[in-house]
């Protein structure tokens, strides 16, 4: 086996472990892949593996490890103008912060993520982040902001469920009243 194939093989193994629900093993394998990419001086793939590791740790109920894994990865993507992956990194960091009970900080990271997804035109992921932002805003007592975030989230989605269509219609009334 060629040594250069090792990070890719580790990544595939980690993704399989994640799919099977073995989140801690997946996180450890993503860490090994990140290290292998670092050995190859491939900073972008190393950061990508760190973000995957963060998601796995979050699924395993380890938000502190998730935060540590994703911290700083946004800068690596921003340095090369990869705004989509930077947005994902901010979203991963926000989710970890929220799980740590740091809702105010999470809101700031969700806002950064949403702005970048808006910039790159990814409406679906932007909508998902705006929904998470809205939930965090509700928990932090910013209900008016949450209302606008949820309305924006629903306007980004192509296919709404029945529940989302009803919610979108209900939200339009107070939003219209506030804009007068």
For the chain, the structural domain boundaries read 1-71, 82-180
Handedness of CA 69, 88, 111, 161 (dihedral sign): negative
pLDDT, one tens digit per residue, over 82-96 is 999 999 999 999 999
Q: Is 57 within 8 Å of 65 (Cβ atoms)?
A: yes
Picking from 106, 105, 103, 101, the residue whose alpha carbon sits closest to that of residue 91 is 106
Picking from 26, 18, 17, 46, the residue whose alpha carbon sits closest to that of residue 34 is 46
Q: Is 69 within 8 Å of 27 (Cβ atoms)?
A: yes
Residues 6+ apart with CB under 8 A from 104: 140
- What three-state secondary structure class fits 83? helix
Q: Is 66 within 8 Å of 58 (Cβ atoms)?
A: yes
The DSSP symbol for 62 reads -
What's CA 169's distance to the chain center, in Å? Answer: 27
Cα dist. 79→17, 43, 94, 113 in Å? 31, 11, 20, 16
Residue 147 φ/ψ, nearest 5 degrees: -60, -45
pLDDT at 164 over 60: yes
pLDDT at 15 over 70: yes
Picking from 146, 155, 143, the residue whose alpha carbon sits closest to that of residue 118 is 155
pLDDT at 5: 56
Q: Is 154 within 8 Å of 167 (Cβ atoms)?
A: yes
In angstroms, the first-to-last Cα distance of the chain is 67
For domain 82-180, the CATH superfamily is Tetratricopeptide repeat domain (1.25.40.10)
pLDDT at 41 over 70: yes
Reported confidence tier of residue 1, pLDDT bands at 50, 70, 90: very low
The model carries a pTM of 0.83
Report, as an integer, the average pLDDT of 97-102.
97
């Amino acid at each position: 086996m060629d040594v250069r194939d090792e990070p890719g093989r580790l990544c595939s193994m980690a993704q399989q472990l994640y799919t099977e629900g073995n989140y801690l093993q997946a996180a450890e394998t993503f860490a090994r892949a990140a290290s292998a990419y670092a050995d190859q001086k491939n900073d972008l793939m190393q950061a990508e593996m760190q973000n995957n590791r963060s998601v796995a740790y979050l699924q395993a109920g380890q938000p502190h490890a998730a935060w540590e894994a994703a911290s700083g990865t946004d800068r690596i993507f921003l340095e090369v103008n990869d705004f989509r992956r930077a947005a994902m990194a901010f979203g991963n960091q926000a989710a970890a912060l929220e799980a740590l009970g740091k809702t105010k900080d999470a809101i700031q990271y969700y806002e950064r993520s949403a702005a970048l997804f808006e910039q790159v035109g990814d409406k679906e992921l932007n909508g998902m982040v705006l929904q998470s932002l809205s939930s965090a805003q509700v928990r932090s007592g910013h209900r008016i902001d949450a209302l606008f975030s949820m309305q924006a989230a629903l306007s980004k989605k192509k296919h709404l469920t029945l529940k989302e269509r009803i919610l979108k219609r209900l939200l339009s009334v107070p939003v219209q009243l506030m804009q007068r």
